[in-house]
Amino acid sequence: MAVLASPPGRMVPLSQLVDALWGDGPPPSAAQSVYLYVAGLRRALEPDRGRHKHSALLARTAAGYALRLHRLQTDVGAFADHLDASRRSQESGDLAGELFCLDQALRLWNGQALAGVPGPFAEAERARLHEGRLVALERRAEVLLSLSQPKEALPFLQDLTRQHPLREKVRELLMLALHRCDRQAEALEVFEEGRRVLSEELGVDPGPGLRACHQRILRLTAERPTVETRLPPPRQLPSDLIGFVGRLEETVRLRAVLAPPDGAAPPPLVVVSGAPGVGKSALAVRIAHQVKERFPDGQLFVHLRGATPGVPRLSAQDVLGRFLRALGVPAEAVPSDVDEAAALWRSRLHAKRMLVLLDDAVDLGQIQPLLSAPHGTCLLVTSRESMVAGDDCVQQLLSRMPHDEAVAVLAKLAGADRVAADPGAAAGLVRLCDGLPLALRIAGARLADRPDWPLSALVARLRDERERLHELAAGDLAVRSSLSASWQSLRGSARPSSRLAAHALALLGLLHVHDITAEVAGALLGTPVPEAERALERLVDAHLLDRNRLDHYQPHDLVRLYATELAGRLPSREPLRDALRYFTLSAQHASRVRDPHRVQPAAPDLGFCPSSVLPHQVSGADEAAAWLAEEAANLTAAATQAMADADPEIARLGVAIAFGLMWHQRFNFLETDLVSLNKQALKVSRRLDDEAMAAEALGHVAGGLQAQMQLDEAAVYLERQLALCAKREDLFGEQRALGNLANLHVHRRRYDRVLYYAERQLGIARQISSGVGVRYALIMKGTAHQELGSVREAAQALTEALDDAERAGDLTHQGTAATLLGELRLRNDDPKAARYHLAAALAQFRTTGYRIGQLRCLIWLSQACRQLDRPDEALDHISEAITLAEQLGNEEWVRQARAESQEVHQARKRP
């Protein structure tokens, strides 16, 4: 078992098993013993497996044996997985996450690995795993020390040192933990003890790491800060924020970065970036005050005005001049050349430990000459832009506040009692403020100024999206101003990509969807997709957009409202039409590719369509279905927005998008969306006096209502569609409505009416040479004849439909006809023929992705296999059917599948 599970899934030859168990001296009966061990292992793993049934977990081939388990089903695999996760957290600088992963890994240990397992393999594997555990424990101690938690690390480090007195890394970590608990004498004694043990046991001296740790503790114990004799060290930090609340996780991380627990020098550059109003400056000032004692030579501060409207930004030369004067350089001695000033800056900072807070940098270029500060000095920078400045740069991205911290901000400003009295309103305020600290501070300040207001009063004001940015202003604080500063910075940039990004943000306000892709942005901007993608990435860098999926971009709510304001100033709404044209073309193209034999809506009149507006390309049915599922929410939102628009052309585009979604909604039980969108399309058709649009929408509403089993209301819509198509002499639409009426009467079990409507559809379909219509009508006839007991007529109609579908390559109707033929044979005691037809239908439905068809086939296949005395095969089919029914969320199908499952289990128990 140990060999097969290390790791599971691989094929292990018999010879390797023998070597692992007996090494170089196996007994003559070794192979036979392995067979016996394997048999016993199979009995233990699968106690309910039949004697002659193949093992599902422990398989054998000519190459050897394989244990079919996922690696995470073994403790060893789970241990390795947690360690991999801890390494990823370490690489990203997430110490808290790394500690959590290490704890998860170490909790898996319960005594010695492979305890009681003999053989050379077990001995080697036991040693390897034991070493891995020790390394994980050492790393856990390092993380605790980095998080300033030496007391938590002490107990297990002391145990480890007793258990492994010769392990120098453990002894070094114990010395550091003791030193940080102000137990320097004990730390030094641990070193002396280690020196004695190493000398007595191994005859060697402590290694360089242990010696360096010893010297560092001696030096730190003895040294005292020095004071500048001629000038006092600069103390330029703004006042600490007494009312600062939240950001606990970020505070812990930045404190550990700027003041490393081991006393080492901080990194040369730490960047705190994030969206406008997210609280970068407040956090940076708070952290700077918390660590300033680690920078005894002073703290410098400057506001760089990167996003201050109407005020020139400070240049690197301006900043260097200010700082050099603060460091004692006379004004007349400050070089006018930026390179010379940077050289003097380096000289003045030599051998000093200083913290330099650069607030509101526009980009890396603004501060580039200051980055040459020597070792020991740290630049703490805040910026609305993401910055990449080499391996030594530590990044801290600030996102929106977590809910609990955001509520705490409100409580601090508005009063804890008011917030506690109405937690629902407090949660609403946090949501409407988008978790943005600036917005929360404004909301809290307004409530503090109006003690008679309940929280719900401000919630009511903020609910109106048109007024929300107006309401989020207090004194000199305003969310709109903060967002405008970022947008104006992009708009006024010398970089074309920044100016295009500013234009893109305004255009995004035209389209009220959840998120967008570069293709949508390309349609809005009228540019090639790669250029549009660069504009979106520029907005991500400016923290005005988030990348919420691999290729999707989304603004936060307050940014979205600001973009809508910008869009209202645009001279034209043609970009909106182009985006809607993109959605229309893409939805209808994907629907056709998903199932080319389904009847699709007529191609809409798109008006003038620029060459930059191209449909999203999909290469097959699966990819088309996946794209429609991924974009359904955006397509629905775009259609809803457009159909409500007063512009007739925009409204028509919205209807076209809605029609393009119809088959996706029918396939995925989204009947509520289907009915809602197409009722809205009906309103547009009346407004535009468009009878063709009305007829199409009537049919879609009826289809959604029928799927919800609202048959009487669905019949009304179908009769209206039929009458309208007859009035317009639209024979294709007329035969389509007749076919849907036939299908509706199948659900009513009025099979005489099914035949009536099917015969009428068949006549018109043949008249106009509609192959799809002919096949559908024959299927309806076959269904009716089957239910009326006319087996021969049913078989004839269904066979004709199946043959015609095969000739046309119509997998959808081919699968439907084969399913019904299978059901017919099953009902008439021919399970063998039924199994043949149903298996063929299942394969066709798997190809088209029609899950309802797959579900029906699986249930009937189970019945056929059960009648053929193939209970194991029946069990496979019905198990898959239950899973699929539960995924689809249809209670009736779940009930049918579970009922058949009970029959299968009863059949398997019979002798």
Q: What is the DSSP letter of 235?
A: B
The answer, yes or no, to whether residue 21 has pLDDT greater than 70, is: no
Give me the helices (H) in 229-336, please: 248-258, 280-291, 316-326
What's the pLDDT tens digit per position in 402-454?
Answer: 888 899 888 888 888 888 889 999 999 999 988 888 888 888 888 888 888 88
Whether 241 is in a domain gets the answer no
Domain at 654, CATH number: 1.25.40
Confidence of residue 78 (pLDDT cuts 50, 70, 90): confident
Q: Is 277 left (phi over 0), alpha (psi -120 to 50) or beta?
A: left
Residue 92's pLDDT is what? 62
Rg over CA atoms, the chain: 37
Same domain, 540 and 581: no
Of the candidates 348, 372, 398, which is a domain's last residue?
A: 398
Residue 757's pLDDT is what? 97
Residue 159 to residue 165: CA distance in whole angstroms: 10
Task: Specify the DSSP element, H or E, that contains 386.
Answer: none
CA end-to-end span of the chain, whole Å?
34
The pair of structure tokens assigned to 357 is 């807070």
Q: What is the DSSP letter of 401?
A: P
Q: Which residues contact 452 (CB under 8 A, 6 or more apart)?
A: none
The pair of structure tokens assigned to 453 is 């207001």
Of the candidates 398, 417, 446, which is a domain's last residue?
A: 398
Whether 750 is in a domain gets the answer no
Beta strands in 585-732 (DSSP E): none
Residue with tokens 């507006």: 613
Same domain, 526 and 556: yes
Whether 410 is in a domain gets the answer yes
Q: Which residues pair with 396 in a beta bridge?
A: 272
What's the pLDDT tens digit per position in 480-538?
Answer: 888 888 888 888 888 898 999 999 999 999 999 999 999 999 999 999 999 999 999 99
Residue 58 to residue 1: CA distance in whole angstroms: 10
Q: Which long-range contacts (CB under 8 A, 24 or more apart) does 94-101 make?
A: 94/253, 95/143, 95/146, 95/147, 95/252, 95/253, 95/256, 96/147, 96/249, 96/252, 96/253, 98/139, 98/143, 99/140, 99/143, 99/144, 99/147
**Please, are residues 894 and 902 in contact by the beta-carbon 8 Å criterion?**
no
Of the candidates 398, 420, 448, which is a domain's last residue?
A: 398
The mean pLDDT of the chain is 86
Whether 467 is in a domain gets the answer yes
Whether 719 is in a domain gets the answer yes
Cα–Cα separations (whole angstroms), residue 367 to 237, 359, 541, 611:
18, 11, 17, 43
Same domain, 553 and 590: no
- pTM of the predicted structure, to 2 decimals: 0.63
Whether 796 is in a domain gets the answer no
What's the pLDDT tens digit per position in 330-352?
Answer: 877 788 888 888 888 888 888 88
Instruction: Of 89-98, 539-548, 568-577, 750-759, give the lowest mean pLDDT range.
Output: 89-98
Same domain, 296 and 423: no
Query: What SS3 class is residue 226?
Result: coil
The answer, yes or no, to whether residue 227 has pLDDT greater than 80, is: no
Residue 51: how many other CB atoms lie within 10 Å: 4
Residue 115's pLDDT is what? 63
Same domain, 322 and 461: no
Alpha carbon dihedral 800, 802, 804, 805, in 10-degree steps, equals 160
Which of 1-15, 323-337, 819-833 tops mean pLDDT? Answer: 819-833
Domain at 873, CATH number: 1.25.40.10
Please state the rounded mean pLDDT for residues 299-304: 91
**Which has more pLDDT, 95 or 103?**
103
Q: What is the DSSP letter of 387?
A: -
The closest of 553, 491, 547, 478 to 522, measured between CA atoms, is 553
Residue 448 to residue 259: CA distance in whole angstroms: 37
**Please, are residues 263 and 230 in contact by the beta-carbon 8 Å criterion?**
no
**Which has more pLDDT, 478 or 750?**
750
Residue with tokens 């909301």: 443
Q: Which domain holds residue 498?
A: 481-571
Residue with tokens 């708009």: 491
Same domain, 559 and 584: no
Residue 129's pLDDT is what? 76
**Which has more pLDDT, 738 or 549?**
738
Cα–Cα separations (whole angstroms), residue 672 to 601, 705, 727:
20, 8, 29
Strand 378-383, strand 269-274: pairing: parallel
The single-letter code of the amino acid at 257 is V
**Please, are residues 305 and 315 in contact by the beta-carbon 8 Å criterion?**
no
Q: What is the DSSP letter of 167?
A: -
Residue with tokens 């198990």: 879
Residue with tokens 């959590």: 100
The pair of structure tokens assigned to 607 is 């008006």
Same domain, 275 and 392: yes
Burial of 108 (0-12, 13-18, 19+ CB in 10 A): middle
**Please, are residues 265 and 375 in contact by the beta-carbon 8 Å criterion?**
yes
Instruction: Of 164-178, 609-623, 751-765, 788-802, give the lowest mean pLDDT range.
Output: 609-623
Residue 517 to residue 508: CA distance in whole angstroms: 11
Largest CA distance in the chain: 111
How many domains does one find in the chain? 6
Same domain, 564 and 419: no
Residue 853 to residue 316: CA distance in whole angstroms: 68
Instruction: Of 1-10, 20-29, 614-623, give the lowest mean pLDDT range.
Output: 1-10
What's the pLDDT tens digit per position in 841-895?
Answer: 999 999 888 888 999 999 999 999 999 999 889 999 999 999 998 888 778 888 9
What's the pLDDT tens digit per position in 746-800?
Answer: 999 999 999 999 999 999 999 999 999 999 999 999 999 999 999 999 999 999 9
Task: Specify the DSSP element, H or E, that contains 355.
Answer: strand 355-361
Number of H helices and E strands in the chain, helices first, is 41, 11
The answer, yes or no, to whether residue 226 has pLDDT greater than 50, is: no
Strand 477-478, strand 378-383: pairing: unpaired
The single-letter code of the amino acid at 372 is S
Domain at 517, CATH number: 1.10.10
What would the DSSP string read from start to end of 250-271? HHHHHHHHHS-TT-PPPPSEEE
**507-540 per-residue burial string, b: 16 or more CB within 10 A, e: under 16:** bbbbbbbebbbbbbbbbbbbbebebbbbbbbbbe
Same domain, 517 and 587: no
> Which phi and psi angles does 394 have, rounded to 5°?
-105, 125
What's the pLDDT tens digit per position in 726-737?
Answer: 999 999 999 999
Burial of 28 (0-12, 13-18, 19+ CB in 10 A): exposed
Residue 50's pLDDT is what? 57
The closest of 769, 516, 484, 524 to 635, measured between CA atoms, is 516
Alpha carbon dihedral 573, 577, 579, 583, in 10-degree steps, equals 150
The single-letter code of the amino acid at 523 is A
**Please, are residues 803 and 795 in contact by the beta-carbon 8 Å criterion?**
no
The pair of structure tokens assigned to 334 is 């400050």
Residue 321 to residue 315: CA distance in whole angstroms: 10
- SS3 of the chain: helix, strand, coil, percent, to 5: 65, 5, 30
The closest of 576, 646, 645, 643 to 613, measured between CA atoms, is 576
Residue 24: how many other CB atoms lie within 10 Å: 6
Whether 53 is in a domain gets the answer yes
**Please, are residues 854 and 844 in contact by the beta-carbon 8 Å criterion?**
no
The closest of 376, 492, 477 to 433, measured between CA atoms, is 477
Residue 27's pLDDT is what? 77
Same domain, 632 and 706: yes
The answer, yes or no, to whether residue 223 has pLDDT greater than 60, is: no
**Please, are residues 621 and 594 in contact by the beta-carbon 8 Å criterion?**
yes
Query: What SS3 class is residue 583?
Result: helix
For the chain, give the number of residues: 911
**Please, are residues 702 and 717 in contact by the beta-carbon 8 Å criterion?**
yes
Residue 706 to residue 703: CA distance in whole angstroms: 5
Same domain, 580 and 716: yes
Instruction: Of 94-108, 157-171, 186-200, 754-768, give the lowest mean pLDDT range.
Output: 94-108
Same domain, 513 and 465: no
The answer, yes or no, to whether residue 56 has pLDDT greater than 60, is: no
> What share of the chain in percent tops pLDDT 90?
39
The closest of 756, 91, 49 to 394, measured between CA atoms, is 91
What's the pLDDT tens digit per position in 361-404?
Answer: 988 888 888 888 888 899 999 998 887 766 778 989 988 888 88
Residue 62's pLDDT is what? 58
Domain at 367, CATH number: 3.40.50.300
Residue 38 to residue 59: CA distance in whole angstroms: 10
For residue 160, the number of C-alpha atoms closer than 13 Å in the C-beta half-sphere is: 25
Whether 237 is in a domain gets the answer no
